[in-house]
Structure 1
Amino acid sequence: MNSTTSLAQEQAQNMSSLSYGLGLSLGVLFLILLLTYASYLCNRSPLPPPTTARTNTTTTTTTKHGLDEDILCHYPTILYRHSESSSVSSSGCSICLADYKDSDVLRLLPECGHVFHCRCIDPWLRVHPTCPICRNSPVLTPVQTPPAGVITVV
């Protein structure tokens, strides 16, 4: 009887240690899942504010950072072959890095005097309101606006 009693006690101890090990493992697994979920909740993007049923119209605001087409058309353009050495200080466009050809139409920014291809600077100025080289704003003031006959020399 001693051997059966000691065998039963040994099996009970094994079952007890197995249940403790299993409980500890499940507890650690639950803790890891809980920390992972808490981390997810803290790092996700915030929810949009709830919309009310009383709002029937949606207001959309767009901000335009560049210059309008009507402002761009007032900037002077010159043909490279007719340009003087004082108006064009470089031999190439700083945007596309191509050398100027005699048939290229260039746009002169009035504030800083930098010259670019029209096909290069116009898209830039529609998005950015500054010169790509010196970052000065090329917006014409009423005093700087050239007369209508002097705007384009092509």
Structure 2
Amino acid sequence: MSQPAGDERHERIMTEADRIKALGEASESIAPYPVNQPTIGAWLDAMGYDNERFRSGEAPPSMAQVWTMPGLGRRRPDDDPLSRMMEVLTGEGFTAVLGTNCEQTYERYLKVGEELRVTTALDSVVGPKNTAMGLGYFVTSRNTWYSGEEKVASMLFRVLKFVPKDSS
């Protein structure tokens, strides 16, 4: 007896999720620039926040992600687990994305001159779930920032990848 198409789709999604999770911290990106005072100053200005500590050689902990974000003209590594999982879900018809939450942990303040790298792993894929937005999967990635071999910050980033209700 064959399974309904929805069950087959779910099996394909979860098989790919398990394969990507098994890769562990498969993706690593090196920050293109060291932690630097001009970027810290621009970030403080953009946030409307000022603190002498951050004008004198330290970066706000919440800037950890800033140093390794791809930005314009750069892209995530081909082996980025979150991007891979998003492609799988898009291919299965889950085309919309909604950021749902982000949990960050900071081990210490960063100092001007430090060179960072980030590793990324797929933490979990949960679904399908019926939500107010539509049927979808919650995808969580885990990012860990390092200065040398020292862990300085981490983040769990969760998104909902879904089929909008009006298009199902």
Q: Determine if the TM-score, normalized by the shorter chain, exceeds 0.5.
A: no
TM-score, structure 1 length as denominator?
0.24
Normalized per residue, which structure has more strand? 2
User: Highest CA radius of gyration, 1 or 2?
Assistant: 1
Greater RCO, 1 or 2 (C-alpha within 8 Å, sep 6+): 2
